Structure 1
């Protein structure tokens, strides 16, 4: 069943011949898929069946019965499961140990309709839609409505009463919602009106509410706007007739994903966040994509394996190395953009994660060391003994004084940071890196950068040989594609470094 590229831009997101794999079937109506970032499993709802299930990559098991006819789900930054319950008209938080806490059930003294879909913003606020499907037969528990209108709500960081964020009569049946990558915009779709609205965030308020996309209907095919997610580039993926429709940030339709049954919701997951899971009718499907999701707070979270101690790092011994995060290496329009490096960098959310880690290190007094490859004009003094260096010269890349050699936006050096320049793969070769480390008294090196299987790995290997403890937060690294990244992380790096996550390093630095 081929997918449809409406514009050439779709090819960068999905192969039109990408297979649609069934990972489970025989349910009543599936909803709410969500991927656990450290335990690597997919949780989903069988809403009319009043069951919550989990797929671990091989088997599907029940994790809750009854589930209060749960619908949309997500995790917060602490990996508590957030569930919209149709049967109780509530938003609830379920801790890993099963403790259930009701976060919202009423507005102005009246019971909510039936919270439907949910997303957590980076400030910890919780946003959810509230149509009345959960008061209909089959999808919930039939009962009278108390509000008489359908809204979009926000729960403040740290808790509190629901805040109505839109005009109470704007939506007929608000359903899917998602933020754009930088959280400056919120998208909300309306199943009954068959459209998507976009709002601009002004602090903790919404501004506008213009129509972003309309006419999401086709009488020949089953499907309506329901679940919705934003990818790393800001494209909006929404359930629609025939499967999923994908819109560019401009609102232009760029492609369609064909799903065998009526799609209800979607979420990315898998080891590299490049598998799109789609709950549809009686089944759950998986589609490989060339793009990953926009970064949500929970995606950087991780839990230590059972029986292990959490990572602990002595800030007085640590330094952070940020290597080769330069425009030509990882940005669109750079000399090496055609390698796929910008796409993998976005999929890893490498820039914002590394920036978060650098900000945390500066706050704690941990030195931040930028290592930049600088190619002298004309390649003077650059040896051509390896294909990598030939590529630098052939592409006129990383030339000192040009845009290509500058740090990627968001990773500029700050006051007090160190800058090391090189024209080798390793950060050690011919540089003053070790002089800085000796002067600062640092022997635990946290290393982020590009490319994982080349410069990052070379630096980690040499650092280990020199007697340094190398810590590699793998989601703070990227390369040309996920396969190359995983080959380095899962094999070579495990022998020379402690491989972990950015969130674990931040938590370990106290």
Structure 2
């Protein structure tokens, strides 16, 4: 199979927008991580309006939007997962973060609409133990645009696995955020150097607008 030209990786009909873990426990001031561990939400707060605009633009041009959410409970909290940090920190966070049926697990300032897709995950990567790859393939998707939180954890983990599942991957750097600017920048650089493309929401929206004006946008996910 021939490689897709760079500009074709971001067009409706080939690409899907994936929104990772934009949930209360990660993004709201009252959420478990920001409130208990004093996470800095400045970068998340600045990112969300850009993400909202990008989601609306993707829907308008017929691009599939896939919301990924993390949920944890006793059915998926394995000993290895709880003990991953080598002490009680992993267990402590897991016991309060995105618990099944809680407010913290609900989406933050974004929400699926009719025609969108929702994937529930239990680990950092949106591909582990989920049907995300099947959903993308069934929609005829070749390329995935990743957004959400946290850039260097669940977003980057999902992006890497997207490549390993043979999708073209792109990080939308201004629609991903974390709690530390240096961690975000490091993740962006790693992605750009090793795993995929890096773009911005403005570049995407401008390209979609230009394609629409020239009759180049095809609607739908096929």
Aligned with 1:476: secondary structure?
strand
**Does 1:401 pair with 2:136?**
no
TM-score (norm 1): 0.37
Q: 2:182 aligns with which of 483, 501, 509?
A: 483
SS state at 2:32 partner: coil
SS at match of 1:316: coil
Change (3 A) 1:418 1:321: same
Q: Where does residue 412 of structure 1 map in the other structure?
A: 111
Change (3 A) 1:363 1:471: same
Distance 1:341 1:407 in 2: 19
TM norm structure 2: 0.82
> What number of residue pairs does the alignment pair up?
196
Quote the residue 1:357 is aligned against: 54
Q: Which has the higher helix share?
A: 2
The structural deviation recorded for 1:369 is 0.3
SS of 1:315 mapped into structure 2: coil
Instruction: Report how far residue 431 of structure 1 moved.
Output: 0.3
| Separation in 1, partners of 2:200, 2:149 | 16
Residues 57-456 of structure 1: pairs in structure 2 closer than 5 A: 311=7, 313-337=10-34, 338-346=37-45, 349-376=46-73, 379-383=74-78, 384-387=82-85, 389-394=90-95, 396-409=96-109, 411-456=110-155
Whole-angstrom distance in 2 between the partners of 1:427 and 1:493: 20
Q: Which fold has the larger relative contact order, with Cα–Cα distance below 8 Å and residues 6 or more apart in sequence?
A: 2
Report the alpha carbon displacement of residue 389 of structure 1 after superposing the two structures with TM.
4.7
1:493 deviates by 4.3
Q: Structure 1 residue 393: deviation in Å?
A: 2.2
Larger strand percent = 1
In 1, Cα distance between the equivalents of 2:38 and 2:21? 15
The aligned residue for residue 255 of structure 1 is none
Equivalent position SS for 1:369: strand
RMSD: 1.9
Q: Give the secondary-structure state (helix, strand or coil) at the position aligned to 1:407.
A: coil
CA gap 1:355/1:342 in 2 versus in 1, 3 angstroms: same
Residue matched to 1:457: 156
Which 5+ residue runs of structure 1 have no aligned equivalent?
1-309
